[in-house]
Amino acid sequence: MKYSNLPNTSIKVSKICLGSMTWGEQNTEAEGHEQINYALDKGVNFIDTAEMYSIPTKAETQGSTEKVIGSWFKKTGRRDDVVIASKVAGPGDMVSHVRENLGFHKEAIKDALHNSLKRLQTDHIDLYQLHWPERNTNFFGKLDYKHDESEEWEENFQEILESLQEFVQQGKIGHIGLSNETPYGLMKFLQAAGDKLPKVVTVQNPYSLLNRKDEVGLTEILHRENVGLFPYSPLGMGTLSGKHLDGIQKNSRLDLFPQYKRYSNDLAVEATRKYKDLADKHELSLTHLALAFVNQQKFVTSNIIGATTMEQLKENIESVDIILSDEILKEIDEIHQQIPNPAP
């Protein structure tokens, strides 16, 4: 396994992060525990979760993923062997069942944090992230920002950081991060932090061969401000394994949950086919090509992989040993120029 530091901290995290959002929906508690045990045996020490998981979010399974991790902590006593990241949900109809007081005001964060700590059966969360912005912006499948003149949101970056600071001082949060955030949001949080408030150390955004939009503006900030990218969906919800090239595979995630169709539109499939040909040319699996590309980016702190089967998990973790040559990287860029960001 390879490791890097969470930016501006002494915490070492594995280059591969174990994603968990299927535990409690597509995977049972026992299967979740099996994945954790295997990943840790392979050197993975980083697990990402969220209060709204499992996915797709619904009242019956909300919080189930954190409960799976919490029961593993209780069963094994290995809390200190894991860096745990979780997230507080932003506002929105899709999470109205999570809490009555959604958003990032102090009491909402307090409730969310304490509920997560209880489910996780721990007294602290190493990296606590804001799952998506409160303001209207372009995330969850949108490339272009369209301003809403009727928006009622008022700037509250400093207020949020002041609330989070209290929980950092109490030892309940180690460090803070953002998720589904834009260059504007990241810079506003960094400016508001100054020298006295907690600094954002990571941003968790979608990033893959099918979605490199953050290279347009965000990655310069990541480099210059020493903030790490924490990519999710590096396989485009399984699309970049190549299994859907001849149609959506039955009982796959895209078959069970068609709301994630942005990863399987015609352009995404066309691009995937080109990447598959490139992988075949260099005698690589498409999964390894796609994950290794993400792993090699200098702005990436840890790559969030997810799996519903142990076979998938093993292949995903093995990607850490794949090094793509300059020739392959050039050929990837040529495909990207032909079909840029088909799955935002």
Q: What is the DSSP string of 181-218?
A: --HHHHHHHHHHHTTTSPPEEEEE-B-BTTB-GGGTTH
Please indicate, yes or no, if residue 240 is contained in any of the structural domains: no
What's the domain count of the chain?
1
> Going residue by residue through the chain (344 aa), what tens digit of pLDDT does each one get?
999 999 999 999 999 999 999 999 999 999 999 999 999 999 999 999 999 999 999 999 999 999 999 999 999 999 999 999 999 999 998 999 999 899 999 999 999 999 999 999 999 999 999 999 999 998 888 888 999 989 989 999 999 999 999 999 999 999 999 999 999 999 999 999 999 999 999 999 999 999 999 999 999 999 999 999 999 999 999 999 998 787 777 767 676 676 667 788 899 999 999 999 999 999 999 999 999 999 999 999 999 999 999 999 999 999 999 999 999 999 999 999 999 999 98
pLDDT at 21: 96
Please indicate, yes or no, if residue 273 is contained in any of the structural domains: no
CATH number at residue 195: 3.20.20.100
Please indicate, yes or no, if residue 146 is contained in any of the structural domains: yes
Q: What residue numbers bound the domain in which 148 lies?
A: 3-204
Contacts 24+ apart (CB under 8 A), 192-195: 192/157, 192/158, 192/161, 193/161
Please indicate, yes or no, if residue 103 is contained in any of the structural domains: yes
Please indicate, yes or no, if residue 278 is contained in any of the structural domains: no
Please indicate, yes or no, if residue 217 is contained in any of the structural domains: no
Please indicate, yes or no, if residue 60 is contained in any of the structural domains: yes
CB-based contact 301:271 (threshold 8 Å):
no
pLDDT at 243: 82
Please indicate, yes or no, if residue 72 is contained in any of the structural domains: yes
237 phi-psi bin (left φ>0, alpha ψ -120 to 50, beta other): left
pLDDT at 268: 93
Name the residues annotated as catalytic.
53
248: CB partners within 8 A, 6+ apart: 254, 255, 264
